[in-house]
């Protein structure tokens, strides 16, 4: 029987790693990247694995996350999640 992953327990311990990865993405020009999105990207990818992922493997996966993998994940999720794409535009227009 496979053990259930509990990545959320590690989130506080991973803050320095998330900060480092966020800084890396911002330096590469991905200024809209967030720690929460990076976290969700890695945890969703690792939840697909059939075996238990230890802490060191999770850290390695987070540190080795490529910007292209992150951007692909964002693109796929943007199609999955219904979002009002024009809400931001409408807010700025109504303030004028």
What are the tens digits of pLDDT across the range 17-69?
Answer: 999 999 999 999 999 999 999 999 999 999 888 888 899 999 999 999 999 99
Average pLDDT, integer, range 1-13: 76
51 Cβ partners below 8 Å, 6+ apart?
A: 2
Which residue did the predictor score with more confidence, 47 or 90?
Answer: 47
Is the pLDDT at 11 greater than 50? The verdict is yes
Is the pLDDT at 96 greater than 80? The verdict is no
Domain count, the chain: 1
Q: Is residue 6 part of a domain?
A: no
67 Cβ partners below 8 Å, 6+ apart?
A: 24, 25, 28, 30
Q: Is residue 58 part of a domain?
A: yes
Q: Is residue 1 part of a domain?
A: no
Q: Is residue 4 part of a domain?
A: no
Is the pLDDT at 95 greater than 90? The verdict is no
The whole model's pTM is what? 0.77
Instruction: Give me the domain span that covers residue 72.
Output: 16-95
Q: Is residue 2 part of a domain?
A: no
């Amino acid at each position: 029987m496979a053990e259930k992953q509990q990545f959320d327990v590690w989130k506080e311990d991973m803050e320095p790693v998330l900060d480092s990865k966020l800084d890396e993405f911002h330096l590469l020009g991905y200024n809209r990247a967030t720690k929460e999105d990076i976290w969700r990207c890695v945890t969703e990818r690792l939840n697909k694995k059939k075996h238990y992922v230890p802490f060191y493997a999770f850290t390695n996966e987070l540190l080795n996350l490529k910007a292209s993998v992150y951007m692909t994940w964002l693109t796929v999720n943007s199609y999955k999640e219904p979002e009002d794409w024009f809400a931001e535009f409408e807010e700025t227009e109504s303030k004028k």
